[in-house]
Structure 1
Amino acid sequence: MQIKHQIFRNRYQDSVSLMQISARISALADIAQASVVMGTPTNQAQLVEAGLACSESAGPNDLIIAVRGSAAACDEALALAATALDSKPASGGESSVVEAAPNNLARAQALHAEANLALISVPGDYAAAEAIKALRLGMHVMLFSDNISLALEKRIKTFAQQQKRLVMGPDCGTAIINGMPLGFANVVKRGAIGVVGASGTGVQEVTCRIDQLGSGISQALGTGGHDLHDDIGGLSMQAGLEALAEDPATQVIVLVSKPPAREVADRILAQAQKAGKPVVVHFLGADPASVARPGITVAHTLAHTAEVAVALERAQAAPAVASALSAQDAQLLNAAAASLAAQRSDIRGVFAGGTFCFEAQLLCQRAGFVAASNTPVKGNSMIADRWQSHGHTLVDMGDDEYTRGRPHPMIDPTLRNQRILAELTDPATAVVLFDVVLGYGAAADPVAELLEVCSKARQQAAAAALPVLVAHVCGTAADPQDRARQITRLRQAGVLVADCNAQAAQWASHVALQQAARRTAGVAGAAQ
């Protein structure tokens, strides 16, 4: 194995483009690891941690390609990355004049006077300054960038509040503005339901489920994961709530977040009561009694949030959350688990979406399963080894510790699929629970490698029964990957595909409960 680098001086590319190039070259044969990043101190530190340290000096405006693999594969990867960086749209004629792209926000606004939103995806060391510049130019801001301190975030959002502008982020990965998906977002129908969320995949689940139920989205506004922290005070959620309350196209408002700080929650809920429109609130893991207010409908899962919003839009009674497993689902799961060895006991969750991991932990916990996780909910424990599972384990593979020097698993699922293979071949695993996230920015064919993993696991297992595989696919029929097609291929490979993340967690819990009952019955029988 060799490590090779190539540095492009003064060559900026946004982080999404770089993650996509990283994913392409990571997929090459004989490449063990690859990363394409800007040479900021933070990124270079992450390369060191990932074992891809660059010996040649590079500055924050320089682009670094780092690869590890066979010598020939490294050369191929560097060449492919360079070609991808240099690729340009095909010309429309024999000769044309291409205007140079604007190199700052002021020039971009001069060329496009109608533009009023800046999407900022530069290294975090510089993103705060660019956000302030955009606000001074009178633009709203979507900050895809992360690694921005709470102090800087508060400064940006306080200034935005003074300017009566909206800031989505930092670390805002998902938004849908006037029908346009931004970041990791899905293709959903336009409609009358507006969403404000502090969770990217949470917003994706809610908006996709609304689309699947036949309704649509007016706007979906992200806030960034730290917005509801005490130090920030929910400034972006309040601004988004105010904007949707004033939007004539929005009839129902949805608020989604992990549990906010108590004072922040009270402030937001008080504002929601004054919206003059039905408001659905889902604070994952919060006591429903602490959220309930006149004029506010409390939802209990991400899928239930969408169901309640659609019902309110149609002037129908809010549906109760589905709690009991249907007889048909129980029969399906029991048949799938019938051949499992009795010692298979554990739920192993492997997620690309952080909120999906969070929700699954909550629901498995309610079913009686305390689990370990790298992002544990209250009552669960921190994993002792991030690469090795013991007992019930639910892991967020999109967390920073797994993405340093690597693309996010929604872009490149290779590392996530390796984890799934390890869980499938562990004799303690009863059920493997995972998500597949579709949409813009996500892998073009996320199921392809997963099917190879399933085939490889079957070969390794020989005659032994594999654990039950349970998945849910977050996406829509209009997404580039086509949700129905992905579901069909998973089912053909023997995967049980649930309608939503909550149902998938419920199914996984049922399998584990059945296995526990079998072991109890076996012990009782042996004692007689």
Structure 2
Amino acid sequence: MLNTIIKKNAYQDSVNLMLLTNHVSALQGVYQASIMMGTPANKDIMRNSGLYTEELEQAGANDMCIVIDAEGDDKLDQILAAVDEFLSDQSVSTSQSSTTSVRSWERAIKESPNANLAMISVPGQYAAAEAEKALDYGLHAFIFSDNMPLEEELKLKQKAHEKGLLVMGPDCGTGILSGVPLAFANRVKAGNIGVVGASGTGIQEVTTLIDRMGGGISHAIGTGGRDLSEGVGAITMMDGIRGLANNSQTEVIVVISKPPAREVRDKVMLELHGLSKPVVALFLGEKPACHEGHVYQAYTLEETARIAIDLGKGVSVQAAYSVPIEAPSVELKPEQVSIQGLYAGGTLAAEAAMLIADALQLQDGLIHESGYVLRSNGHSIVDLGDDMYTQGKPHPMIDPATRIQHIENAAADPSTAVILFDVVLGYGGHDDMASVLAPAIGKAAAKAREEGRNLYFVAALCGTHQDPQSYTEQKRKFEEAGVIVKESNNQAVRTVLAMMKLDMEDMPKHHRPAEAAAASTKPASEAIEALLSSKPAVINVGLSKFTASITESGAAVVQYDWRPVAGGNAKMQHILHQLNQYRFEE
């Protein structure tokens, strides 16, 4: 029987509610649970999951909705006590924080008159309005929120460009500005390499590899995954490149993107050829045969990092950056023929799929099916961070439950030979992923042995030794569980390919002069130059956990404890937004 409890005016951010849902779901006697705010979108999720009740009709966007399917009504009091205890712990944690908290934009600006960046992590349907307010106050916007319509993204970026501001996002998972990690980012050493990336985990992989190879990062500007689409036209990418080109800390520029629209890609390349600084460009999915002028093109995220390191040291770029791979000896049954990739990082999943498709010589490259990045010849790569798997659930970098379920399913398949996965450390991620995944891996491997099969696990560990989680300890815990741990996604995938006796050939790149001299790049705006000249002063709108990395980096931050205005009433919100716009125009 479904029990529904509505807690009026008890707003909590989505991450807290997702973790609370997992906490309640694990209680004895609970079959299923869902705890969300009463927004229309969340009600649709409950409806689709079979947890919708008539009582939810009375809930508003500021009301917490608790729906529980338990074995008996007598369990309900115990479950509600667990909910109250969890929320109480969150309140205590918040009250002990030294970060100033406010409840309005006006108060946030008053508390931080020198603020120049707004981090926005509110539910997607509200993100555009909050970003527009940030721009009206003269702030750059870092939009972690996703599910924003493309036309709203374009409108925001056009407005920002006209004002000389940056809009990083939406769905921007990673950024580093003057050593300050933003959202899901890593603690990296300072240096002379600047990054602009339409890829969150792509930025994380490249910046952490550069750190562990002895280099350092000046800035890493995330653009959001759609920035290089035909509909947006690389507005943030172009402004970010110009910002790094005019930044004295930056001597080498790295550009990373998932497959872009062809015309947009060519526009970006023309801009890069107009720079006076050396550039490394990675457009995932392309396999370049040459470098041109001072623009060096990479095939993998690891090669991108290695070229950038050499350029940063003033060392000649090599024709190839092949890393010797020693394949562990494996004993497999004849039916064990498949690689199962279970990824938390979308770009890392795409890179794994690209390399496997290359080894399999798939003429069509990546093969997309619902929920898969690649599925061919028995092999599959799944991006568990995709909306298909995260709707109403925490991201797999935060919560391992979805991945554990997929590990169990893959291990039960007699055709599975190797399970390949990534672990992304850093701010925003799970505190100790190895301690949670290792027992599940050990259990799956033991079950396979009982059935007469050897099952192998290979992990790509992304992070630095300065991250909140101990890189060394995470690696040790996985290796003790029998996992083969590699320090790059590229090496992890190639190790798996070698185990499966699949070959890959790296073609040396030749170097040629640029075909034509390009015009010098346009200067960056004063506001962008100012943002990149010192640590940002941040107004954090939404997820309070994002303040930790900012304060630990010595930057100023004010926490805006956001709530849906007008009780979530869409019509009233639109009226208030129009009035707000009129006020700024006046």
State TM-score, norm by structure 2. 0.78
Q: Is the contact between residue 307 and residue 319 of structure 1 (CA under 8 Å) also seen in structure 2?
A: no
Q: Is the contact between residue 34 and residue 406 of structure 1 (CA under 8 Å) also seen in structure 2?
A: no
User: Which 10-residue stretch deviates more, 75-84 or 443-452?
Assistant: 75-84
Equivalent in the alignment of 1:61? 62
Residue 265 of structure 1 deviates from its aligned partner by 0.9
Q: Closer, same or farther in 2 for the Cα pair 1:305/1:324, shift >3 Å?
A: closer
Q: Secondary structure at the match of 1:282?
A: strand
Q: Is the contact between residue 344 and residue 383 of structure 2 (CA under 8 Å) also seen in structure 1?
A: yes
Q: Tell me, yes or no, if structure 1 residue 399 matches structure 2 residue 400.
A: no
Q: Matched residues, percent identical?
A: 42
The one-letter amino acid of 2:468's match is P
Equivalent in the alignment of 1:495? 483
CA distance in 2, matches of 1:234, 1:47: 36
CA distance in 2, matches of 1:110, 1:159: 24
Aligned Cα RMSD in Å? 2.8
CA distance in 2, matches of 1:231, 1:498: 37
Q: Secondary structure at the match of 1:192?
A: strand
User: Which 10-residue stretch deviates more, 455-464 or 477-486?
Assistant: 455-464
CA distance in 2, matches of 1:320, 1:4: 64
Equivalent in the alignment of 1:441? 428
Of residues 467, 485, 493 in structure 2, which corresponds to 1:479?
467
Q: Is the contact between residue 33 and residue 68 of structure 1 (CA under 8 Å) also seen in structure 2?
A: yes
Count of aligned pairs = 495
Q: Closer, same or farther in 2 for the Cα pair 1:306/1:454, shift >3 Å?
A: same
Q: Closer, same or farther in 2 for the Cα pair 1:141/1:340, shift >3 Å?
A: same
Question: 1:25-64, aligned counterparts within 5 Å?
Answer: 25=24, 28=27, 34-53=33-52, 55=54, 56-57=56-57, 58-64=59-65
Q: Closer, same or farther in 2 for the Cα pair 1:201/1:31, shift >3 Å?
A: farther
CA distance in 1, matches of 2:384, 2:71: 26
CA distance in 1, matches of 2:63, 2:198: 32
Q: Is the contact between residue 21 and residue 84 of structure 1 (CA under 8 Å) also seen in structure 2?
A: no
For residues 407-442 of structure 1, the C-alpha deviation after alignment (integer angstroms, 9 at most, x for no partner) is 111100111112112212321011111111111111
For residues 366-425 of structure 1, the C-alpha deviation after alignment (integer angstroms, 9 at most, x for no partner) is 111759xxxxx8442415999x99921111111111111111111001111121122123
Equivalent in the alignment of 2:342? 350
CA distance in 1, matches of 2:342, 2:81: 31
Q: Is the contact between residue 407 and residue 444 of structure 2 (CA under 8 Å) also seen in structure 1?
A: no
Q: Tell me, yes or no, if structure 1 residue 295 matches structure 2 residue 294.
A: yes
For residues 118-141 of structure 1, the C-alpha deviation after alignment (integer angstroms, 9 at most, x for no partner) is 011111111101111110100000
CA distance in 2, matches of 1:485, 1:425: 29
CA distance in 2, matches of 1:176, 1:287: 28
Equivalent in the alignment of 1:250? 250
Consecutive unaligned residues in structure 2, runs of 5 or more: 504-586
Q: Closer, same or farther in 2 for the Cα pair 1:389/1:514, shift >3 Å?
A: closer
Residue 280 of structure 1 deviates from its aligned partner by 0.8
The one-letter amino acid of 2:48's match is E
Residue 464 of structure 1 deviates from its aligned partner by 2.2
Consecutive unaligned residues in structure 1, runs of 5 or more: 93-97, 372-376, 516-528
Of residues 404, 409, 417 in structure 1, which corresponds to 2:396?
409
Q: Is the contact between residue 298 and residue 304 of structure 2 (CA under 8 Å) also seen in structure 1?
A: yes
Q: Secondary structure at the match of 1:276?
A: coil
CA distance in 2, matches of 1:395, 1:409: 12
Residue 249 of structure 1 deviates from its aligned partner by 0.8
User: Which 10-residue stretch deviates more, 11-20 or 398-407?
Assistant: 11-20
Q: Is the contact between residue 371 and residue 386 of structure 2 (CA under 8 Å) also seen in structure 1?
A: no
Q: Secondary structure at the match of 1:513?
A: coil
For residues 93-152 of structure 1, the C-alpha deviation after alignment (integer angstroms, 9 at most, x for no partner) is xxxxx9983222232011111111001111111110111111010000001111111111
Q: Is the contact between residue 195 and residue 219 of structure 2 (CA under 8 Å) also seen in structure 1?
A: yes
Q: Closer, same or farther in 2 for the Cα pair 1:32/1:169, shift >3 Å?
A: farther
Question: 1:175-214, aligned counterparts within 5 Å?
Answer: 175-214=175-214
Higher relative contact order, chain-length normalized (CA < 8 Å, sep 6+) = 2
State TM-score, norm by structure 1. 0.87
